A and B are shown apart, each in its own frame.
Chain A
Amino acid sequence: AQSVAQPEDQVNVAEGNPLTVKCTYSVSGNPYLFWYVQYPNRGLQFLLKYITGDNLVKGSYGFEAEFNKSQTSFHLKKPSALVSDSALYFCAAPIRGGGSQGNLIFGKGTKLSVKP
């Protein structure tokens, strides 16, 4: 079965430190991968996506993600965390094959907490 996993329920980081939010995937074929962010009481917002090409993808708000095919990972990173980055982060990938082809499957989410 195709899946997206986020192994950490919560990540705690001090402001100014680098942050990493982890994602691993198991999907058919060449993966297309996404990161979304959800601020409190809001809907999800698109951060970035990997389709093909460079393994390092840059997105909104200074975030970037590194695609690693051998480790089947797509970790979200930021060099210097801000308190305002505190939110819920979701990794996602489109389903391949079957009736739901193309629809996104989401990881369970990782809560990022950045302390001053």
Chain B
Amino acid sequence: NAGVTQTPKFQVLKTGQSMTLQCAQDMNHNSMYWYRQDPGMGLRLIYYSASEGTTDKGEVPNGYNVSRLNKREFSLRLESAAPSQTSVYFCASSTIPTNEKLFFGSGTQLSVL
């Protein structure tokens, strides 16, 4: 019963460094998402993938790229990290994009110094 698995759980970067956050789900879900959570701002959608082979920008895509590697995996890349990207990142998945509940991973706490 793994559900949605995110790695790493914690990461500290220096400004300008790059890294990739990994996400995998074992529920055969079609849609996957990356959110960031900041205090007092709730969750904001960075990118999503409605189905394998497609990706689209969400509310706050600047500074990020994504790859839907296959149906199970959806990675988020920071090419040149900035302090404004310090946040908690959550990956989520759902069976279909509309009106269905999301299943979330446990999050990645990222600090950019």
Is B40 in contact with chain A by the CB < 8 A criterion? Answer: yes
**Given A43-B90, A90-B42, A107-B42, A102 and B102 contact (CB-CB distance below 8 Å):** no
Of the residues A9, A32, A51, A104, contact of B102 by C-beta under 8 Å: A104
**Given A94-B98, A94-B99, A100 and B45 contact (CB-CB distance below 8 Å):** yes
Of the residues A32, A43, A105, contact of B104 by C-beta under 8 Å: A43
The contact size tier of chain B is: 20 to 34
**Distance from A90 Cβ to chain B, minimum over Cβ atoms (Å):** 6
Of the residues B4, B48, B103, B104, contact of A103 by C-beta under 8 Å: B48
B101/A49 in contact, CB under 8 A: yes
The contact size tier of chain A is: 20 to 34
Residues in A whose Cβ lies below 8 Å from that of B102? 36, 44, 46, 104
**Main SS class of interface, A:** loop
**Which residues of chain B from 17 to 60 have a CB within 8 Å of any chain A CB?**
33, 40-45, 48, 50, 56-59
**Given A100-B45, A108-B40, A41 and B106 contact (CB-CB distance below 8 Å):** yes
Residues in A whose Cβ lies below 8 Å from that of B104? 43-45
B107/A43 in contact, CB under 8 A: yes
Residues in B whose Cβ lies below 8 Å from that of A51? 99
Please, how many angstroms separate the alpha-carbon atoms of A32 and B99 in the complex?
7
**Which residues of chain A from 3 to 35 have a CB within 8 Å of any chain B CB?**
9, 32, 34
Contact mask B78-106 → A, CB, 8 Å, 1/0? 00000000000010100001110111111
Is A99 in contact with chain B by the CB < 8 A criterion? Answer: yes
B106/A103 in contact, CB under 8 A: no
**Given A44-B43, A107-B42, A102 and B98 contact (CB-CB distance below 8 Å):** yes
Please, how many angstroms separate the alpha-carbon atoms of A108 and B42 in the complex?
4
- Nearest 8 A-B pairs (CB), nearest first? A43-B104, A102-B98, A102-B97, A46-B101, A108-B42, A106-B42, A106-B43, A44-B104
* Residues of A near any B CB (own CB < 8 A): 9, 32, 34, 36, 41-46, 49, 51, 90, 94, 99-109
Given contacts A34-B101, A46-B103, A100-B59, 8 further A-B contacts (CB under 8 A): A41-B106, A46-B101, A46-B102, A49-B99, A90-B42, A100-B58, A102-B50, A104-B45
